[in-house]
Structure 1
Amino acid sequence: MQARATHHRLTRAALAAGLALSALAVSQLALAAPATAVSGLTRQTATGPSDTVPKTQNKTCPAGTVALGGGGAVSGATGHIGMDFMLPVSENTTWSVTGREDESGTGLRWSLTTTVLCAPAPAGYQVVAGSSAWSSPSDKSHLVSCPLGKVALGVGGAVSGASVSELILEDLRIDTSSVTVTGAEDGTGFAGDWQVQARAICADQPAGYERLLDDSAYSSSSTQSVTVTCSAGRKVHGVGAEILGGEGQVRLTAMHAVSSTSVTASATEDDNGFSGNWKVRAFAVCAS
């Protein structure tokens, strides 16, 4: 009888071990499922009026699609205009860019262009939002991470608290599974409390995923620009940009997909100029 009982215990143990191994194998197969391409990807743009008033330019994705990434560009009034709001809105179906003049103002005309990359929501699509505390340091950053197992396709950000462009949206950085948005007070400072908002546009890793970046020269040129291009066979899914060394005296003038395969980031010193060296960095998230 004891031998039979021992045999039954061993059989149950072997069965349990087999079931555990089977579950592990299924889990590993799920994790190893092949990545799929994002279908139906399109690039949409809209340009607003050229005048001298603060403005917001929106571009809505086609019906049935959502924003994977986006950005904006300002034309005219060099050094006076800050794009302080570049975010997905309306349940992530629209990209919104707001531009405002600095505290000294300008009589020059200027306009905004908004660019958004749209597609039917890919597997695992999720937009994660976060905000910094309201406070008054000279600069601050806020990081938002994607859920475990997902990658960052795009980034949105904003600086809030000033009635004119005294706060500069300096960095919209994309890392593999997170984004970081940095704001800074401009060269004259800002006395009030202010906040940084960040959005990480996340999804399961698509086929052919790559995160690319490139820098302009590190110099004291008043205006700098850099373009980064996807590898062959891949398209831009998300964009980002950073100003490095600007100390609140350099403003982004462009962060957008200039084609289906390239991203350009441009920046310029404010209207008072800046004596130090600085550079601008462009990020492109590409996939098949």
Structure 2
Amino acid sequence: MREGSKLTRWSRRTAAVGGATLSALVLGQLALAGPVAAVPGLSIQTTTGPSNSIAKSQNAPCPTGTKVIGGGGAITGSGLGQVGMDIMRPLVGGDAYSVTGREDENGVGGNWAVTASAICARPPAGLVMVSGSSAPSLGTSNWFEKSCPLGKRAIGVGGAVVGAPNSEVVLEDLRIHQNSVVVAGAEDGTGFDDSWWLDATAICADPLPGEQRVTNDSDYTSAATRSVVATCPPGTRVHGVGGEILGGDGQVRLTQMRATTSTTVTVSAVEDEDGFGSNWKVRAYAVCAS
């Protein structure tokens, strides 16, 4: 059910701010070392699909007996500023995290690949996924918030921009607040002449031991690329991932938002092929627990 009452239009200059084909899985795992985690069985599962120039999805499945508690992805290869991670969310049932990449309306001559990354664990107390959608809009940018059930914390996020046949609407933000998640999107530099909307998924659970949220921002300048790392405090590990572009105006696309080690979250973005004259930055979110 769409929750249009929460829809708010943004100015494109506000700085604070699937035709997909399932590819073959190339499975990797990063086991979390260090002290016993707040959630037993914690691991990072990473898969990368083929490199070509077609829209595609990649799923990172969790090991048997575990569920997705967070996730993200990355795009590598050619034309990074023209390829959007338009869908980044857990699959229904929480057995895998899925990332979809699509080219903009101009297309990309070279090849690129999608990496999906799932943070998996034996289900923590109170684990639940809740989803919702904004109302369709003709606005140039929008955001949508989905709250966790009363008493639960948001530990993971998923989002999607829906309505465009290709990456003409950019998925800019997947933010994790304490009790909710926020997903935001913006039309690209050439605009989009039809309606579109946002889907948001909050992965929620009872408060985790030692739970805290860490954010970190890149420099706020006009540059072709930006990257930033959020690091969990000593004795804690990454349990959830989020990221956002601030001031990108639809002309900057996320190229990475994932846990790159057991204690760090990396968020990266690239300007589109025409560049972008205004200042912008990226922000990384890490949900950490002991």
Which residue of structure 2 lines up, in the alignment, with residue 187 of structure 1?
189
Q: Does 1:216 align with 2:218?
A: yes
Matches within 5 A, 1:104-183: 104-183=106-185
Which of 200, 203, 208 is equivalent to 1:201?
203
Q: How many residues align?
A: 253
- Return the alpha-carbon distance in structure 2 between the equivalents of residues 170 and 136 of structure 1: 17
**Scaled by the length of structure 2, what TM-score is found?**
0.86
- Return the alpha-carbon distance in structure 2 between the equivalents of residues 287 and 93 of structure 1: 22
Indicate the RMSD between aligned Cα atoms, in angstroms. Answer: 0.9
Q: The residue matched to 1:251 in structure 2 has which SS?
A: strand
Q: The residue matched to 1:79 in structure 2 has which SS?
A: helix
- Return the alpha-carbon distance in structure 2 between the equivalents of residues 54 and 259 of structure 1: 28
Matches within 5 A, 1:27-106: 37-76=38-77, 77-106=79-108
- Return the alpha-carbon distance in structure 2 between the equivalents of residues 116 and 59 of structure 1: 6
1:215: Cα distance to partner? Answer: 0.3
- Return the alpha-carbon distance in structure 1 between the equivalents of residues 254 and 196 of structure 2: 19
Stretches of 4+ moved more than 2 A in 1?
A: none
1:245-281 Cα distance to aligned partner (Å, 9 max, x none): 0011010000000011100000010111100000000
1:47 maps to amino acid: T
Unaligned runs of 5+ in 2: 1-36
1:78: Cα distance to partner? Answer: 2.2
- Return the alpha-carbon distance in structure 2 between the equivalents of residues 78 and 270 of structure 1: 8
- Return the alpha-carbon distance in structure 2 between the equivalents of residues 188 and 233 of structure 1: 46
- Return the alpha-carbon distance in structure 2 between the equivalents of residues 147 and 52 of structure 1: 41
Which residue of structure 2 lines up, in the alignment, with residue 244 of structure 1?
246
- Return the alpha-carbon distance in structure 2 between the equivalents of residues 165 and 246 of structure 1: 15
Identity level (%): 57
Which residue of structure 1 lines up, in the alignment, with residue 271 of structure 2?
269
Q: The residue matched to 1:193 in structure 2 has which SS?
A: coil
- Return the alpha-carbon distance in structure 2 between the equivalents of residues 216 and 135 of structure 1: 31
1:118 maps to amino acid: C
1:200-242 Cα distance to aligned partner (Å, 9 max, x none): 1000011010101000000001100000111111110110001
- Return the alpha-carbon distance in structure 2 between the equivalents of residues 180 and 122 of structure 1: 22
1:123: Cα distance to partner? Answer: 0.2
Unaligned runs of 5+ in 1: 1-35
Q: The residue matched to 1:171 in structure 2 has which SS?
A: strand
Which residue of structure 2 lines up, in the alignment, with residue 6 of structure 1?
none
